[in-house]
Amino acid sequence: MDKLIIKGGRRLTGEVAVSGSKNAALPILFTTILASGRHEIRNVPGLRDINTSIHLLETLGARVEGRSGTIWVDTSGLDQVEATYDLVKTMRASVLVLGPLLARFGRSRVSLPGGCAIGARPIDQHLKGLAAMGADIRLSHGYVEAEAKTLRGARIHFDLSTVGGTEHLLMTAALAKGETVLENAAREPEIAELAEVLNGMGAKIEGAGTDTIRVLGVEQLAPMSHRVMPDRIEAGTFMIAAAITGGDVRIRDMRLEHLDALAFKLQDAGVEVFSRDNAVQVRGPERIRPVNIKTRPYPGFPTDMQAQFMALMCLADGASVISENIFENRFMHVAELLRFGADILIEGNTATVKGVRRLSGAPVMATDLRASASLVLAGLAADNTTEISRIYHLDRGYERIEEKLKGLGADIERVKE
């Protein structure tokens, strides 16, 4: 098992490029199930979750060439309809194969994904939507079994904004007969990108990126060729890395319009953020100003940036209040940030962060993907040395992050524990 060793206190400067989006690439990989043939997907990040998805597709009978960058997925020989617990337990997004397998083969069997370190993420909205489209859904021995001779369009209203549920039913509805209307749909950029991919395959989708999406089902789809969008959460993490170290960093291959909520809050905190020459420049101030945030579904402040922003507020000149409104267990990084000397008080879903003059390096342990990033950021700004263990969480969502940070002047090494 690997760990990171960070000698903090260095001001980050220079240029860094953002990798392809993990959260966009995962559902795009699973859309290949819908169309027999050879698909080309470019700008795929080299991550643990991508490897898991590829392994799942191969288990279903697909042939995959490549593991990152440009990969080719040939689903013409795909002949299995079951995703086992051994695969699904390592990545919740694996449940997204349920609907595409059902749409293509008329049946599918996928393990229930179980819990999650950052809180319960049930799939009831996914199953409610599939049932509304005519699927016979059964839960048996920890598996979801679905059958449907014909899937038909339906009006589906999500009880809450769900990214996975919206993606799942968007893919499935592409091959259903008639029109499907998804109401209270999630609006994330990754969903608009998924709709773009599906439309390129021959689907008829309107409204992706709004809370009402209309899908007119087609009889069949064709293989795709697509370049994955930049990862907005990785980009946001580099923005905060520049801010927390008082640095000056140019970030390439990012779309600032996907991070408006974060950019506005960083500017409120005294951070300079501006576009220049097809890139985004971020300059940190001498002292961060305290800023309050509340996580919301897109286009609100992203829950996936809450832990990283909290690390920044640990060094603010005053107190800030951070409210987490998406996941109930997403303050697990607080206990580790306290080991740096941070001053944080939690009450329910709210954390009050009183900024301190400096953080002190410490041995800490990652608990989930974004918590891992917050510890890296704290370590970059802290005095002395920080050791971060269990960084396999980090490898799920950040491609070669230590190499990229090293290119900006960070003193960071990956070593074997």
Asked whether 114 and 144 are in contact (CB, 8 A), the reply is no
* CATH superfamily ID and name for 2-19+230-416: Enolpyruvate transferase domain (3.65.10.10)
pLDDT of residue 118: 38
Of 387, 392, 407, 270, nearest in space to 339 by CA: 387
What is the pLDDT of the chain when averaged over all its residues?
A: 95
Q: CB-based contacts of 194: which residues, under 8 Å, 6+ apart?
A: 24, 27, 28, 31, 167, 170, 171, 208
Q: Output the known binding site for phosphoenolpyruvate.
A: 22-23
pLDDT of residue 116: 46
Instruction: Classify residue 57 as exposed, middle or buried by CB count within 10 Å of its CB (0-12, 13-18, 19+).
Output: buried
pLDDT of residue 214: 98
Span of 52-61, 109-118, 147-156, 374-383 with lowest mean pLDDT: 109-118
Band (pLDDT 50/70/90 cuts) for residue 276 is: confident
Hey, which CATH number is domain 22-227, 3.30.930.10, 3.40.50.300, 3.40.50.1100, 3.65.10.10? 3.65.10.10
pLDDT of residue 114: 59
Q: CB-based contacts of 57: which residues, under 8 Å, 6+ apart?
A: 29, 30, 32, 33, 64, 73, 75, 78
Tally the C-alpha atoms within 13 A of residue 207's C-alpha that lie toward its C-beta: 16
- Residue 259 gets which letter from DSSP? G
pLDDT of residue 391: 94
Asked whether 133 and 90 are in contact (CB, 8 A), the reply is no
- Is pLDDT larger for residue 118 or for residue 396? 396
pLDDT of residue 170: 98
Q: Output the known binding site.
A: 22-23, 92, 121-125, 304, 326
pLDDT digits (tens, 9 = 90+) for 323-337: 999 987 789 999 999
pLDDT at residue 146 greater than cutoff 80 = yes
Band (pLDDT 50/70/90 cuts) for residue 195 is: very high
Helix, strand or coil for residue 216? strand
pLDDT at residue 120 greater than cutoff 90 = no
- Residue that has been written with the tokens 């839960």 in this structure: 139
Asked whether 186 and 160 are in contact (CB, 8 A), the reply is no
Q: Output the known binding site for UDP-N-acetyl-alpha-D-glucosamine.
A: 92, 121-125, 304, 326
**Is 314 in the active site?**
no
Which member of 15, 86, 116, 160 is catalytic? 116
Q: Give the type of residue at 339.
A: R
In this prediction the pTM is 0.95
pLDDT at residue 317 greater than cutoff 90 = yes
Share of the chain above pLDDT 70, in %: 98
Domain ranges in the chain? 2-19+230-416, 22-227
Band (pLDDT 50/70/90 cuts) for residue 122 is: confident
